[in-house]
Amino acid sequence: EDQVTQSPEALRLQEGESSSLNCSYTVSGLRGLFWYRQDPGKGPEFLFTLYSAGEEKEKERLKATLTKKESFLHITAPKPEDSATYLCAVKAGQAGTALIFGKGTTLSVSS
Amino acid sequence: DTAVSQTPKYLVTQMGNDKSIKCEQNLGHDTMYWYKQDSKKFLKIMFSYNNKELIINETVPNRFSPKSPDKAHLNLHINSLELGDSAVYFCASSQGLGVGTEAFFGQGTRLTVV
């Protein structure tokens, strides 16, 4: 069964303290790995798509990387406004499948 | 201009009632989804429609019935509501069924069954 596991469940950082979130996956035929950000009371907001091992993408203080078994979301010098739940999701198997989500990492950044 | 909009945002109802949640997207996408987020924040696919045709129907009770009158709308009707149906329901849309088609989500409908 396709599975996505995120760690840690919760992460508290001081402003400016860089760290990484992990997403490990067990799927048959990865077709894409997605990162989303979700703020309380809102829907997930798309951040990145990664397709193959070795790929990296950046957006402001966020950088996503992908290996054959996991993805990392690196947060450099975070600010309080980066506080949110970060969700990892995969598409696997045949075309037309929906996203399979992990349970998310809730990030809190204090000033 | 909201890309994916759901109504209502909050829904409180009694057990046994029938209720509907509406979803509309103005992105011109041809694929729409319903996801359920439980109390532990876990998002799980329920249904997917492509060009008004049902593509994905996960193991969801028959009390849940999606309806897509056109490509821009996907409504969710729930019969005989149960306490366990309490959750946040998200509508989403994407362009096509391909790999790189990221989904755009609505703001969610928080359903509380009492």
- HEC-encoded secondary structure of chain B: CCCEEEECCEEEECCCCCEEEEEEECCCCCEEEEEEECCCCCEEEEEEEECCEEEEECCCCCCEEEEEEECCEEEEEECCCCHHHCEEEEEEEECCCCCCCCCEECCCEEEEEC
At residue B98, does pLDDT exceed 80? Answer: no
Does a cis peptide bond (omega within 30 degrees of 0) precede residue B8?
Answer: yes
CA nearest to B34, candidates B69, B3, B70, B4? B4
What is the least distance, in Å, from the CA of B19 to any CA of chain A? Answer: 21
pLDDT reported for residue B96: 73
The CATH number assigned to the domain holding A57 equals 2.60.40.10
pLDDT, position A92: 80
Chain A positions touching B4 (Cβ under 8 A) are 43
Q: Is residue A65, in this structure, part of any structural domain at all?
A: yes
Please give the share of chain B, as a percent, with pLDDT higher than 90: 69
Q: Tell me: the pLDDT tens digits for B33-81?
A: 999 999 888 899 999 888 888 887 787 899 999 999 999 999 999 999 9
SS3 A44: coil
Nearest to B78 by CA among B91, B60, B92: B60
A interface toward B at CB cutoff 8 Å? 31-32, 34, 36, 41-46, 49, 51, 85, 87, 89, 91, 95-101, 103-104
pLDDT given for residue B2 in this prediction: 73
Residue A80 included in any domain: yes
Q: How many domains does chain A have?
A: 1
Average predicted confidence (pLDDT) for chain B = 91
Answer CATH for B4-96+104-113 from 3.40.50.720, 2.40.170.20, 2.30.29.30, 2.60.40.10: 2.60.40.10
Residue B95 has pLDDT above 90, yes or no: no
Q: What pLDDT is stored for residue A44 in this prediction?
A: 96
Instruction: Assess whether pLDDT exceeds 90 at residue A37.
Output: yes
| Closest CA relative to residue B46, chosen from B7, B89, B11 | B89
**Cβ-nearest to A43 among B42, B50, B108:** B108
List the domain boundaries for chain B: 4-96+104-113
